[in-house]
Amino acid sequence: MSLNSKKYSRRSVITFLSGLIITVCSKAANADFKAGQPFRDRFQTYRQTFRIEPDPEEAKRIVKNIIKGRELRKNLISLNAPDIAENGNTVPISFYVNCSMKNDDFPKTVHILVLDNPFPEIAKFHFTPYSGEANVSIRIRMRTSSNIVAIAEMADGTVGETQSYVDVTIGACS
């Protein structure tokens, strides 16, 4: 009841609190900006605009979440990557899923991950029976020499995985 009395009216309390919050926030933001902190745009929440260090635990967790403890099918997916890549900015890789693209025997999604990158996920590919063969080639970025993992999730729920090690001489900045 003390707030509702004439001494502290509701309006005065609200204005005082809001002014205090604004001054504190602006001072903090200015300090950050002067210290060379990155400019934060309004897409900051989902748009990555700062550098983080690679975390192998994170990559393992992502792989674990995709496989979910299912049994791995042998000789399902084959990955074709160079042994030595001179430039980490463009590493050409290609994969092939060994299956007949009929009924339930086609890969729903194929994941490609580079374990030592700060953002291990690189691409996902979604197929349908109309794409006659699951054979895709792309070019990726690699920061250091590390393992490339390709995981195929079939439409009937089975999973296959391959890994191949690539040596990178000059790493990319990602």
Partner 1 sequence: MAEEERKNWRRRLKVPKTAVVDEIITIKTMAEHVMEPGVRRDPETGVIYPKKIIDAVICRFNGQQIYRSQWFSGVSANPFMSFKMKAVTSGLVEVEWIDDYGQSTYKKAVLVVYDNEGKEILPIKIDNINSNKDIM
Q: Name the site residues for partner 1 (rule: CB under 8 A).
A: 36, 38-39, 41, 47-52, 89-91, 101, 114, 117-128, 130-141, 172-174
The tokens for 139 are 């070019």
Burial of 127 (0-12, 13-18, 19+ CB in 10 A): buried
Cβ nearer to partner 1, comparing 12 with 49: 49
Q: Are 159 and 72 in contact (CB under 8 A)?
A: yes
The least distance separating partner 1 from the CB of residue 94, rounded to whole angstroms, comes to 8
Cβ nearer to partner 1, comparing 63 with 172: 172
69 closest CA partner among 162, 159, 164: 159
- Distance CA(64)–CA(110), nearest Å, equals 15
The least distance separating partner 1 from the CB of residue 100, rounded to whole angstroms, comes to 12
The least distance separating partner 1 from the CB of residue 71, rounded to whole angstroms, comes to 26
Cβ nearer to partner 1, comparing 67 with 136: 136
